[in-house]
Amino acid sequence: MSFQDDSPPALENPMKIIPSIPTMQRLSRKWKSAGKKIGFVPTMGALHQGHLELVKTSRRENDVTVVSIFVNPTQFGPQEDFKKYPRTLDQDCSLLRREKVQAVFSPSDHEMYAADPNIKIHITGSLVSGLCAPFRPGHFDGVALVVVKLLNIVMPTHLYLGQKDAQQVAVLKRTISELNLEVVPVVCPIVRERDGLAMSSRNKLLSMEGRRTAPALFKALMEGKRVARTGEKNPGNVLAEAKKVLSKEKKIKLQYLEAVDPSTLTPVSKIKKGTMLALAAYLDNVRLIDNIVI
Amino acid sequence: MSFQDDSPPALENPMKIIPSIPTMQRLSRKWKSAGKKIGFVPTMGALHQGHLELVKTSRRENDVTVVSIFVNPTQFGPQEDFKKYPRTLDQDCSLLRREKVQAVFSPSDHEMYAADPNIKIHITGSLVSGLCAPFRPGHFDGVALVVVKLLNIVMPTHLYLGQKDAQQVAVLKRTISELNLEVVPVVCPIVRERDGLAMSSRNKLLSMEGRRTAPALFKALMEGKRVARTGEKNPGNVLAEAKKVLSKEKKIKLQYLEAVDPSTLTPVSKIKKGTMLALAAYLDNVRLIDNIVI
């Protein structure tokens, strides 16, 4: 006779790795029926400290945390880096296990998309008239589609997003609001390397020299912020000072540097508290983005 | 002292009429937490027996039933009948009260749509290459958008749709599947007047003579089906026989008559069991649709 047989299951279940949509939905439905707060961190894997801060915040604020790892083909343009985007699933799962995440949802492309998909989400207006959108046609439509799908699969109460992808944050907040999705978006600050470079999975693709040059992006944003804080209200003047920092770096090809309202993403005519300076630049053919709020 | 004070609330609560999105979401969330099956019938009001059959089916198959009444502006084209679409809210609510519906969700346009909406759903491919779609650009995008919003607000387990709007059924089934919405679509048969005319809120807009002529639409579909059942496999021949019935009616302006696969809506090259014959026609400037499955 053994008392062990009647003992309750261990409180900390091992992390589940779930490739199937119905399995994930069943698990989430069970949690929801039990009234649990579900935190969700959607990622494309290649996890770094920025992702892990989202995960830690979700772990603190919810009963269970689900992380998705899915390199979403619909958000890459035909000329973009879908194929060379870093994929490190085993390492990612080790990191997430250490954070005591309850489940990793890692579907195949085939599980997520029908062979001949017919339904798209389309973002219009000021949200996609500037910043990354003109350079990445269809990108935010693809992001919104995959996140709506993931929200319907994972059914979280809270969604954790990183401020680094500021345009993505604005688009997803608006998508959640306009489609009446019942989830609370939580935006977490940018996590930076010691030298100021915003953490990004794409940093791995930089050469040694590119990596040494990259912190200039943040320095430029800081310079813009410094100038604005001296009382300069004209966006043109603020951005010009920031650009001066970048012009010293031959390796950096600036794509845009704008001063916008962080929720509508409309360019501002006057810099004020809350205005966001945002940029994208190429370095070694690697496209990096960063932003700062004044 | 009264025993009444401790008595449980009446089992049959009065029907709630809810104009607010958060109120509807709270009520549905409460039902979902209690594990209730929620049936949902989205309508544009002006209810007729066709709608009521959807309601009765939902009442039989679920614990609670929600009916929405909302004349959705985003599914009408600029030249279409949004303004003259019949609106009979009080009468609709009386009918629904008699069916013991638990809640009617009847939001204002303002409650449903932001002043400057930025998020759209876009349907592509064979689903919108034929039938009504070429004549109503953007219509099915608008239908999908409002139904996705309504599903996120009402959070039903089962969605009741009428077969009369066959293209809408195909589009919504695909939207639910591709966006991973966790709701079961239930399609109910067309309800017809004694003379065969498919019930429609727009029938009210017909003149007396138009109303007398209208059953020819169904007669034409029946003739197509009859010819197909004699063994005629060629869609051109089947449709030609159906058109002969309509050519006798001067008041009827046929917009299309097609033989399609009912789930992809692709025109068939050979008539078989399950092929759908579908048409749209104008009568007194009123646009009517109907279909039949072979």
- Distance between CA atoms of residues B195 and B215, nearest Å: 6
For chain A, what percent of residues have pLDDT higher than 90? Answer: 91
As a whole number of Å, the CA-based R_g of chain A is 21
Torsion of CA B156, B159, B160, B164, to 10 degrees: 150
In the sheet with B276-283, reading across from the earlier edge strand, the strands are B253-260, B276-283, B286-293
Which class for B82: exposed (0-12), middle (13-18), buried (19 or more C-beta within 10 A)? middle
One-letter identity of residue A46: A
Among candidate residues A188, A219, A249, the one where a domain is terminated: A188
**Cβ contact (<8 Å) for B179 and A127?**
no
Residues B183, B218, single domain; the answer is no
Residue range B211-222: mean pLDDT, rounded = 98
Chain A hits for B152, CB-CB cut-off 8 Å, are 179-182
Q: Do residue A65 and residue A167 come from a single domain?
A: yes
Q: Does residue A216 fall inside a structural domain?
A: yes
Residue B12's pLDDT is 57
| Amino acid at residue number B205 | L
Q: Specify the pLDDT at position B11.
A: 52
Where residue B98 sits, what CATH number does that domain have?
Answer: 3.40.50.620
Within-domain flag for A286: yes
ipTM: 0.92
Look over chain B and give the mean of its residue pLDDT values, rounded to a whole number. Answer: 95
CA-to-CA distance for A238 and A219, rounded, in angstroms?
Answer: 13
- Total H helices, total E strands in chain A: 9, 10
Mean pLDDT for A51-68 is 98
Residue A193 lies in a domain: no
pLDDT at A3 over 60: no
Residue among A116, A152, A182 minimizing CB distance to B179: A152
B180 and B135: one domain? yes
Mean pLDDT of chain A: 95
With tokens 């099915």, the residue in question is B140
Q: How far is B139 from chain A (nearest CA, A)?
A: 14
* Number of Cβ atoms within 10 Å of the Cβ of B153: 27
Determine contact: A143 vs chain B, CB below 8 A: no
Taking an 8 Å cut-off on Cβ atoms, the answer to whether A177 and B35 are in contact is: no
Closest CA to B172 of B192, B153, B189, B150: B150
Q: Which of B127, B128, B178 to mutate to test the interface with A (most CBs of A within 10 A)?
A: B178
- Chain B CB contacts of A155 under 8 Å are 182
Residues B90 and B147 in one domain: yes
Looking at the domain assignment, is residue A11 inside a domain?
no
pLDDT band of residue B3 (cuts 50, 70, 90) is very low
Stretch among A111-125, B9-23, B232-246 having the lowest mean pLDDT: B9-23
Q: Cβ B152–A182 below 8 Å, yes or no?
A: yes
Within a domain: A237: yes
* DSSP H or E run through B63: none
User: Could you tell me which chain A residue has the CA closest to the CA of B110?
Assistant: A178
| Residues of chain B with C-beta less than 8 angstroms from the C-beta of A125 | 116, 118
Residues of chain A neighbouring B118 (CB-CB closer than 8 A): 123-127, 174, 178
Q: pLDDT tens across A239-280, in order?
A: 999 999 999 999 999 999 999 999 999 999 999 999 999 999
Task: Assess if residue A279 is contained within a domain.
Answer: yes
Query: Which CATH number belongs to the domain containing residue A285 in this structure?
Result: 3.30.1300.10
Q: Last residue of a domain, which of A136, A158, A188? A: A188
Q: Are residues B49 and B121 in the same domain?
A: yes
A255 touching B, CB under 8 A? no
Same domain, A167 and A215: no
pLDDT digits (tens, 9 = 90+) for B244-255: 999 999 999 999
Is residue B196 in a domain?
no
The Cα of A86 is separated from the nearest Cα of chain B by a number of Å equal to 26
For testing the chain B interface, which of A147, A178, A183, A184 should be mutated: the one with the most B CBs within 10 Å?
Answer: A178
Q: How many angstroms separate the CA atoms of A14 and A97, rounded?
A: 8
Among residues A158, A183, A34, which one has the least CA distance to residue B32? A34
Q: What is the pLDDT of residues A92-110, one digit of tens each?
A: 999 999 999 999 999 999 9
Q: Which of A265, A263, A273 is nearest to A293 (CA)?
A: A273
The shares of helix, strand and coil residues in chain A, as percent rounded to the nearest 5, are 40, 20, 40
Record: contact B182-A29, CB cut-off 8 A: yes
Q: Which residues of chain B make contact with A130, given a CB cutoff of 8 A? A: none
Q: Place B59 in a pLDDT band, splitting at 50, 70 and 90.
A: very high
Find all residues with CB under 8 Å of B169, minimum gap 6, and list them: B161, B162, B163, B185, B187
Tell me whether residues A25 and B182 touch, CB distance under 8 A. Answer: yes
- Confidence tier at A29 by pLDDT (50, 70, 90): very high
Report pLDDT digits (tens) over B130-170.
Answer: 999 999 999 999 999 999 999 999 999 999 999 999 999 99
Do both B236 and B103 map to the same domain?
Answer: no
The verdict on B51 and B180 lying in the same domain is yes
Taking residues A127-140, report their average pLDDT.
97
Q: Alpha-carbon distance B239 to B220, whole Å?
A: 9
Tens digits of residue pLDDT in A143-172: 999 999 999 999 999 999 999 999 999 999
User: How many contacts (CB atoms, under 8 Å) link A and B?
Assistant: 84
B37 with B167, same domain: the answer is: yes
Q: Is residue B7 part of a domain?
A: no
Scored b (16 or more CB within 10 A) or e, B225-255 reads bebbeeebeebeebbebbeebbeebebbebb
Quote the minimal CA–CA distance from A166 to chain B in Å.
Answer: 17
Indicate if A135 and A213 belong to the same structural domain: no
Domain-terminating residue out of B127, B162, B188:
B188
Pick among A25, A119, A128 to test the B interface (most B CBs inside 10 A): A119
Alpha-helical regions (H) of chain A? 21-33, 49-61, 89-98, 109-112, 139-154, 166-178, 208-213, 216-229, 235-247
CB contact under 8 A, A182 and B29: yes
Q: Do A26 and A169 belong together in one domain?
A: yes
Query: B229 in contact with A at a CB cutoff of 8 Å?
Result: no
Distance CA A127, CA A134 (A): 11
CB contact under 8 A, A181 and B117: no
Q: How many domains does chain A have?
A: 2
**B155 in reach of chain A (CB within 8 A):** yes
Query: Are residues B219 and B181 part of one domain?
Result: no
The verdict on B178 touching A (C-beta cutoff 8 Å) is yes
A20 touches chain B (CB under 8 A): no
What count of other Cβ atoms lies within 10 Å of the Cβ of residue B207? 13
In angstroms, the CA B292 to CA B294 distance is 7
In this prediction, residue A11 carries a pLDDT of 52
Interchain pair B118, A116: CB under 8 A: no
Q: Which residues, in sequence order, are bridge partners of residue B119?
A: A123
* pTM of the predicted model as reported, rounded to 2 decimal places: 0.93
Tell me the residue range of the domain where A118 lies. 16-188
